[in-house]
Amino acid sequence: MNMDHVAENGLVLLGCGKMGGAMLQGWLAQGLPPTSVSVIDPNPSDWLRGTGVGINGDLPENPAIVLIAVKPQMMGEALPTLAAMGNGTTLFVSVAAGTPIAAFEAALGAESPIVRAMPNTPAAVGRGITAIIGNAHASAAQVDLAEMLLRAVGQVVRLDTEDQMDAVTGVSGSGPAYVFHMIECLAAAGEAQGLAPALAMQLAQATVAGAGALAEAADETPAQLRVNVTSPNGTTQAGLAVLMDEETGLPPLMRKTVAAAADRSRELGQ
């Protein structure tokens, strides 16, 4: 299955907010014809209206794929509109947090091919990472198709079991917010050492973004990169002695942070 298959049979996008919009932008850039896309969205943006896709009109009977990108609380009213496409050849891909595959099988039909995906917000700049898992009715070709579509906004990884999705939520799903907060804290700490707020923020943002890019591009592990820049008895070692403290530093704090997010994901999925 490829973009030609999607173009021929049609793609339905349920919800075109930030995540849905980022994905649609990626697909159109890759050559998916706007005429093969049908979007259902209660508040279409001016950008969406200008793309040439179908908006809130008639849907194809058996589209190749339906991508569900509405907020979980809107799911109850949204899913019945798709039920007629269930139990067939249409692949449903959900990027809605906290909604398990079983909920889609219940709403759409137990034999519907379904892929659950967890993207994250850097998808907005094409730098996301998405974890995916298919149900028993999603063929290998359909999971490949879901991966291809989701690669429009960044990297894609495949999970072994759906229950790993809670841990993914705690790490990459919620993770960007942890990094944003780290930038805030790093800037505030710079201010406390006498830097002007705007300068402290510029230094913090560029440092975190640059270190992330370096960590991804380098052959060495992040641990080795850290060792490389830590001179004995130098400034970095002095800072790391505080940050790496096993009782009061980042290791226990990060474990608790990810566990709290993963636990909440498990609660929401009940």
Domains and CATH numbers, the chain: 3-165 (3.40.50.720), 175-268 (1.10.3730.10)
pLDDT reported for residue 97: 83
71 annotated as belonging to a binding site for a ligand: yes
pLDDT reported for residue 7: 83
DSSP conformation class of 96:
-
How many Å is the maximal CA-CA distance in the chain? 68
222 annotated as belonging to a binding site for a ligand: no
70 annotated as belonging to a binding site for a ligand: yes
Please tell me the distance from the alpha carbon of residue 146 to that of residue 134, in angstroms, as a whole number: 9
pTM of structure? 0.92
256 annotated as belonging to a binding site for a ligand: no
Nearest alpha-carbon partner for 22 in 150, 132, 130 = 150
Q: Which two tokens stand for residue 181?
A: 């907060």
Q: Coil, strand or helix: which one is 38?
A: strand
pLDDT reported for residue 1: 58
Please tell me the distance from the alpha carbon of residue 39 to that of residue 81, in angstroms, as a whole number: 13
pLDDT reported for residue 208: 98
In one letter, which amino acid is 218? A
pLDDT reported for residue 22: 93
pLDDT reported for residue 132: 98
Residue 82 · residue 63 · CB < 8 Å? no
- pLDDT tens, per residue, the chain with 270 residues: 577 889 899 999 999 999 999 999 999 999 999 999 999 998 999 999 999 999 999 999 899 999 999 987 788 888 888 889 999 999 999 998 888 999 999 999 999 999 999 999 999 999 999 999 999 999 999 999 999 999 999 999 999 999 999 999 999 999 999 999 999 999 999 999 999 999 999 999 999 999 999 999 999 999 999 999 999 999 999 999 999 999 999 999 999 999 999 999 998 887
17 annotated as belonging to a binding site for a ligand: yes
96 annotated as belonging to a binding site for a ligand: no
CB-facing half-sphere around the CA of 249: CA atoms within 13 A:
9
